[in-house]
Homo-oligomer: A and B are copies of this chain.
Amino acid sequence: MTRIACIGLGTMGGPMAGHLLDAGHEVAVWNRTPDKADDLVARGARRAATPADCAADADVVVTCVSDSPDLEAVVLGADGAAAGMREGAILLDCSTVAPSTETRIAEALAARGCEVVDAPLSGGAEGARNGTCTAFVGGSEAAFAAVRPALEAFCKTITHLGPTGAGQAAKAVNQIIISGTYASVGEGLAYAERAGLPLEALVEALSGGAADSWILRNRSPKYISRTYDPGFRTVLHRKDLGIAISEGEELGLDLRLTRLIAAWQDALIAAGYGEEDSSALGRIGTGDVTP
């Protein structure tokens, strides 16, 4: 049993805290919108008044928020987690943020004797709900070992890829790869529909060969029904691609395909589809939205 603080109880963070409770950990919770904590409190979690209060006495402070500024606020802001963390506690950040944000927070916490493990997740809402996320982990060996039991409560695949920041770099690779795949599956299925092919049978056939992907297998119903409920929201995916593009520039890479898909997502957001799933890129393939 570990004492765990859970800060950020959204689509991902809420179910994660539930899995940590189920695994027998002592869990304190905090969320900007307090009522999101109600169910967890009913299941035995301690309701904290502030991130600092939440982090007090915790061995591991799990953060899962939407963006870099949110993370800086809940960790380094007034009444932030850093103000409550004891020496030796570890920040396990499951948000997807810029590697530079992660590094800045790690430097601030090092002064207090605390390490940061970045462990951004893949697997989306259903991964969090089912406890089958994939975690890309960056941090020291010792810190990774200390947070591993917490990660095991909601992850199926946990891979340690290097020092703090390596998790965010790996997550950027994930977001780059899925962006082009979402777009190409959308374009392919738009063609199939127009050609009059039987779509379910086609998807099954395609899944048996070189066109197979998680997205084809798991997201085809959204493309086929043209009902793009999330899943993983386009605005968040677009935020992640922005991180990848600017980090890519710093690495001397021009991410041409990622820039294109980001522009397509901007067109989707402008057309009012930003809250839809990443598979809404199918709207470009069908001609529903013109970038």
Contact = CB atoms under 8 A, between A and B. Distances in A.
B174 A179 contact: no
Contact of A180 (B124, B184, B208, B291): B184
A184 B173 contact: no
Contacts of A133: 209
Contacts of A215: 210, 213
Contact of A291 (B187, B192, B213, B256): B256
Interface in A188-239: 188-192, 194-198, 201-202, 204-206, 208-216, 218, 232
A281 to B, nearest CB: 9
A124 B210 CA distance: 8
B123 A209 contact: yes
**Residues of A in contact with B, size category:** 35 or more
Q: How many copies does the complex hold?
A: 2
A64 interface: no
Contact of A178 (B170, B210, B248): B210
A38 to B, nearest CB: 30
Nearest to A176: B188
A157 interface: yes
A173 B206 contact: yes
A95 interface: no
A122 B208 CA distance: 9
13 contacts: A122-B209, A136-B202, A170-B205, A173-B206, A174-B209, A177-B185, A177-B216, A178-B210, A179-B184, A191-B253, A211-B214, A212-B213, A213-B214
Given A169-B197, A170-B192, A194-B248, 15 more contacts: A134-B205, A159-B201, A161-B201, A166-B195, A166-B197, A174-B209, A174-B211, A178-B184, A178-B211, A180-B187, A184-B258, A187-B258, A195-B251, A210-B218, A253-B285
